[in-house]
Amino acid sequence: MSEAGGATGVIASGATADPFGWKALRGSMGSALRLPVVHGIGPADAMAEVRRNGCRVVATVPRGGRSLYEIDVTGPIAVLIGGEGHGLAAAIVDAADERVSIPMAAPVDSLNAAVTAGLIVYEVRRQRLATKTRSLTI
């Protein structure tokens, strides 16, 4: 999904499934072999690395963040998505440049990590394509 949406890489950090395990590789339909994937790096080191590469850090939170549809995600960004249930550690969220939430109707209070990632990847793609189209309009 990351590659299909135009992401340039994936970092699987902290307590996460192995992105090179057979189920993950099969599910990625080859994307894990074409897209740079980093595994085995801690969250703080991952955040420092993406910042060194000029990315703004956007942390997902189930509530209290700015709406996904209100933030500008057209520049270089790294999106942090926590695990289902516990989400991102408070220290990681606090260190992020932006907190984003996906608007949901009550009584739903969270989405699973894959759905969250998919929605965000495609909102980033939508905004970037819209910006590109506007810049090419005469």
For 96-113, the pLDDT digits (tens) are 999 999 998 888 877 888
Question: Average model confidence (pLDDT) for the chain?
Answer: 85
Q: What is the rounded CA–CA span in Å between residue 82 and residue 15?
A: 10
Q: Which of 69, 56, 58, 54 is nearest to 130 (CA)?
A: 69
Q: What is the rounded CA–CA span in Å between residue 123 and residue 69?
A: 7
- What's the domain range around 96? 10-136
| pLDDT classification of 77: cutoffs 50, 70, 90 | very high
Q: Which residue has the higher pLDDT, 33 or 56?
A: 56
Give the chain's domain count: 1
The answer, yes or no, to whether residue 138 has pLDDT greater than 70, is: no
Q: What pTM value is reported for the model?
A: 0.83
Amino acid at 109: D
Q: What is the rounded CA–CA span in Å between residue 62 and residue 6?
A: 24
| Whether the Cβ atoms of residue 57 and residue 111 lie closer than 8 Å to each other | no
3: in domain = no
What is the pLDDT at residue 21? 75
Q: What is the rounded CA–CA span in Å between residue 109 and residue 107?
A: 6
44: in domain = yes
| pLDDT classification of 60: cutoffs 50, 70, 90 | very high
Min mean pLDDT across 6-15, 64-73, 101-110, 124-133 is at 6-15
Joined tokens for residue 56: 């703004």
4: in domain = no
97: in domain = yes
Min mean pLDDT across 6-20, 47-61, 119-133 is at 6-20
Adjacency order of strands within the sheet including 66-67: 66-67, 98-101, 56-60, 77-80
CATH number for the domain that contains residue 19:
3.40.1280.10
What is the pLDDT at residue 134? 62
Q: What is the rounded CA–CA span in Å between residue 80 and residue 95?
A: 11
| Whether the Cβ atoms of residue 7 and residue 121 lie closer than 8 Å to each other | yes
